């Protein structure tokens, strides 16, 4: 009987969880959750930046198409503006090459059209530029 009491006393001292073990487990959980939430936060910031960059590239491509399709486009022109979403844009045309055309007053021109879009971030201004080439034959001059 004495032996049974000793084994019960021995078991009761080793049963349960100590405060130190609970503190270590909570610390490990805290470190794990911190790492998970930090990674999630970083991923969300990256998704936000990618969404904004997609908005900027789509805006720049649309503005480039809008400017390049204009039939009144002349070399050496500059256009600029601000979009509804706060993007600042600037379009510029430059003469790249000129060759004789169907008439002396109608040379064939190769015009570079460049659109630059800029916006402000917490780290300063950033910009994105697109450019294309357009073949242009000036319309005939009408004499009254």
Structure token pair of residue 61: 């491509």
| CA-to-CA dists, residue 46 to 40, 68, 86, 114, 121, angstroms | 10, 33, 21, 28, 14
CATH homologous superfamily, domain 18-136: GSPII I/J protein-like (3.30.1300.30)
What is this structure's pTM? 0.69
Task: Give dist(CA 69, CA 77) in Å, integer.
Answer: 14
Q: What is the DSSP letter of 143?
A: P
Sign of CA dihedral 68, 74, 75, 79: negative
- Write out the chain's pLDDT in tens, 144 residues: 556 555 555 555 666 788 999 999 999 999 999 999 999 999 999 998 899 899 999 999 999 999 888 878 888 999 999 988 889 999 999 999 988 887 777 888 899 999 999 998 888 889 999 999 999 887 777 766
């Amino acid at each position: 009987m004495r032996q049974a009491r000793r084994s019960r006393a021995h078991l009761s001292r080793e049963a349960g969880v100590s405060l130190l073990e609970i503190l270590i487990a909570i610390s490990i959980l805290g470190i794990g959750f911190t790492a998970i939430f930090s990674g999630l936060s970083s991923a969300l910031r990256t998704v936000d930046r990618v969404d904004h960059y997609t908005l900027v590239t789509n805006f720049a491509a649309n503005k480039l198409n809008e400017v390049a399709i204009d039939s009144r486009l002349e070399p050496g022109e500059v256009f600029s503006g601000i979009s509804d979403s706060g993007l600042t844009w600037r379009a510029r045309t430059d003469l790249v090459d000129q060759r004789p055309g169907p008439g002396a007053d109608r040379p064939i021109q190769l015009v570079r059209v460049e659109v630059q879009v800029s916006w402000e971030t917490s780290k300063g201004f950033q910009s994105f530029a697109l450019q294309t080439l357009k073949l242009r034959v000036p319309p005939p001059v009408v004499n009254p």
